[in-house]
Chains A and B, each alone.
Chain A
């Protein structure tokens, strides 16, 4: 029921553990055996990168996370050893697919590393072209021509499928996606973290972490959904949607935005591998209760409902109270009303002549007392 296809092969369910330090060294075993459809290793490069301390900053209010890690601190030889060990151990009895994330400073270096890693028996290669830290003001994944070179050279070098990870910092997405397609990529993952500074201490003037970092977690989901939907409306390459997936319903949103699977990364860091099982339980129940027997039945369901501005019909609607509100302790609706159409006169009232139907009150009323009705 939950099986799906990513980058040219089938996975048993649409939960993918995204690239990061939760998929390296000793973490590879729990990642592989927690029930995910696939896991993507931390990004492997030609050199190891030192881990700075601290490298994470978290805002528990917004559940946003910033990290300033670059690529793996483990060297290529150790990676190859670790990945070979996994194969020797028959992947600990797991049928989870194993994808290696790799990156290089040039297309030829990347292709070489991919070739070395392929030898260990991984199922696929993901190119980490969109890391927002360290590389430069613009990420490689903004440059369609470079992306084409990186992808095509890697595709030529290996026999296993190659996918590309893009991010919100990849500009010219339609061009970049086309370049991936033309170069023979088998899939796309989006989005990588968003370049961000989580916080600044106003007493000391010090940013939470020492440099610009990658922002992830719940707050980036809207950005991820928009990019995944945009890619899905550009190309038919299978997509892994990532960015702020915390639970099963978030993952379904990505599927409906056109992804074939959804990735969890920050959620694994913050809550451990159990999050995979929780998402799978939710998906099974939801599929059953909605009579869904295959992901294809809901994949991209939201795409047709995304309209151009010209297609959005101007419906004359105004706000209206579903029930009487005395407005004694709360006047958030009237303060938030852009049309000054909501006022308190012995209770909350709406001047429907002034209301333009923007919908703000419906969203901000803590008791959800408003609705939109035909004018």
Chain B
């Protein structure tokens, strides 16, 4: 249940519902009563009402992520932690291994430890789980969209648009057979990335073939093996590797097969530091992982400390393509901007 549903059921705008909650004196009686009765009917409690249910603070924030070995997750955690420290709080990190059941168990155990709030990175919780968290009065912020993040506090990046830009760039570089290697597990993100891929391939009148899209383990070896297979099977002239780690493996495989990035260009995604020093330097998309952590941390403490208690925030942080050498770029100006 979220503010959008209340607004649509009551036949008013989200802003009006928000006004009823924050500045009821500004809303006429009739509308106010209608909104309040709709809330009651739908059993709706705004996110930030939660804070009132907790009387004392533990100064601990739970940060829940699918894989603590993924650098991007850790950068996000660092962002959250930097904000937590400014609010005299600490974080507890938990790993869910992309398993919804583990995530649920871990979240409930954190709540039992009386944490003040939750950051849920790439969450796989279902709407029932979210209802439970809300009923316990724990404020939470999603990092990365998921199937239940609509209408909730969420900080995310625009995977689809970023990948669209990547494919447009590869098309500009005259690449026609563009394959995609996706990491296993990251279902939601993969879907978003594929949206951008398909849109740009269509816009550039390039063939899309199911065999162009394969999944692998998110590791150097995963990228290596997947690329070797692609080179044998479909002989692409470019590969969009959905993570930098896969991209590093891909470049190694291309080299081992006696090819260069002029034959098969590679673009990664994430912006790992190593990308700037590998040979050839990796063209990638810089995911604002640290800043997502900072922003999610800020939104969470807004709720905990009652700073900005308005409607849920849906904040997008732009991912930025960083052109380097791994697609044979010759125009240095593109590497500067």
Q: Which residues of A come within 8 Å of B, CB atoms?
A: 46-47, 76-77, 105-109, 112, 115-116, 119, 135-137, 211-212
Measured between beta carbons, the chain B residues less than 8 angstroms from A112 are: 295, 298-299, 313, 315
The answer to whether B298 and A76 touch across the interface, beta carbons within 8 angstroms, is: yes
The answer to whether B318 and A106 touch across the interface, beta carbons within 8 angstroms, is: yes
Mind listing 24 A-B residue pairs with CB under 8 Å? A46-B294, A46-B295, A46-B317, A47-B290, A47-B294, A76-B298, A105-B288, A105-B291, A105-B318, A105-B320, A106-B315, A106-B317, A106-B318, A108-B314, A108-B315, A108-B316, A109-B295, A109-B315, A109-B316, A109-B318, A112-B299, A116-B298, A136-B337, A212-B336
Known: A46-B294, A77-B83, A115-B308. A137 touches B337 (CB 8 A): yes
Q: How far is the CA of A116 from the CA of B294 in the complex (A)?
A: 13
Measured between beta carbons, the chain A residues less than 8 angstroms from B315 are: 106, 108-109, 112
Q: How far is the CA of A132 from the CA of B170 in the complex (A)?
A: 26
Which residue in B290, B307, B308, B317 is a CB contact (below 8 Å) of A109? Answer: B317
Measured between beta carbons, the chain B residues less than 8 angstroms from A77 are: 83, 86
Given A46-B317, A105-B288: 17 more A-B contacts, CB < 8 Å = A46-B295, A76-B298, A77-B86, A105-B317, A105-B320, A106-B158, A106-B317, A108-B313, A108-B314, A109-B315, A109-B318, A112-B298, A112-B313, A112-B315, A116-B307, A137-B333, A137-B337
Measured between beta carbons, the chain B residues less than 8 angstroms from A116 are: 298, 307-308
Measured between beta carbons, the chain B residues less than 8 angstroms from A108 are: 313-316
The answer to whether B308 and A106 touch across the interface, beta carbons within 8 angstroms, is: no
Known: A108-B314, A136-B337. A46 touches B308 (CB 8 A): no
Q: Can you name the residue of chain A whose Cβ is closest to the Cβ of B302?
A: A116
Interface hub of A105, A115, A119 (most chain B Cβ within 10 A): A105
Measured between beta carbons, the chain B residues less than 8 angstroms from A115 are: 308
Q: How far is the CA of A107 from the CA of B158 in the complex (A)?
A: 12
Q: How far is the CA of A47 from the CA of B286 in the complex (A)?
A: 15
Instruction: Give the distance to chain A from B88, nearest Cβ to Cβ, in Å.
Output: 12
The answer to whether A211 and B336 touch across the interface, beta carbons within 8 angstroms, is: yes
Q: How far is the CA of A211 from the CA of B295 in the complex (A)?
A: 29
Measured between beta carbons, the chain B residues less than 8 angstroms from A211 are: 336
Q: Can you name the residue of chain A whose Cβ is closest to the Cβ of B299?
A: A112
Provide the B175-203 mask, 1 if CB < 8 A to any CB of A, else 0.
00000000000000000000000000000
Which residue in A46, A135, A136, A212 is a CB contact (below 8 Å) of B291? Answer: A46
The answer to whether B291 and A106 touch across the interface, beta carbons within 8 angstroms, is: no
Q: How far is the CA of A116 from the CA of B290 in the complex (A)?
A: 19
Measured between beta carbons, the chain A residues less than 8 angstroms from B86 are: 77
Measured between beta carbons, the chain A residues less than 8 angstroms from B337 are: 135-137
Q: Can you name the residue of chain B whose Cβ is closest to the Cβ of A115?
A: B308
Measured between beta carbons, the chain B residues less than 8 angstroms from A46 are: 291, 294-295, 317
Q: How far is the CA of A337 from the CA of B45 in the complex (A)?
A: 81
Instruction: Give the distance to chain A from B76, nearest Cβ to Cβ, in Å.
Output: 13
Taking CB atoms and an 8 Å cut-off, the chain B residues in 280-334 that contact chain A are 288, 290-291, 294-295, 298-299, 307-308, 313-318, 320, 333
Measured between beta carbons, the chain B residues less than 8 angstroms from A136 are: 337
Instruction: Give the distance to chain B from A116, nearest Cβ to Cβ, in Å.
Output: 7
Q: Can you name the residue of chain B whose Cβ is closest to the Cβ of A45?
A: B291
Measured between beta carbons, the chain B residues less than 8 angstroms from A76 are: 294, 298
Q: Can you name the residue of chain B whose Cβ is closest to the Cβ of A104?
A: B317
Instruction: Give the distance to chain A from B331, nearest Cβ to Cβ, in Å.
Output: 11
Q: How far is the CA of A211 from the CA of B333 in the complex (A)?
A: 11
Instruction: Give the distance to chain A from B241, nearest Cβ to Cβ, in Å.
Output: 23
Provide the B4-30 mask, 1 if CB < 8 A to any CB of A, else 0.
000000000000000000000000000
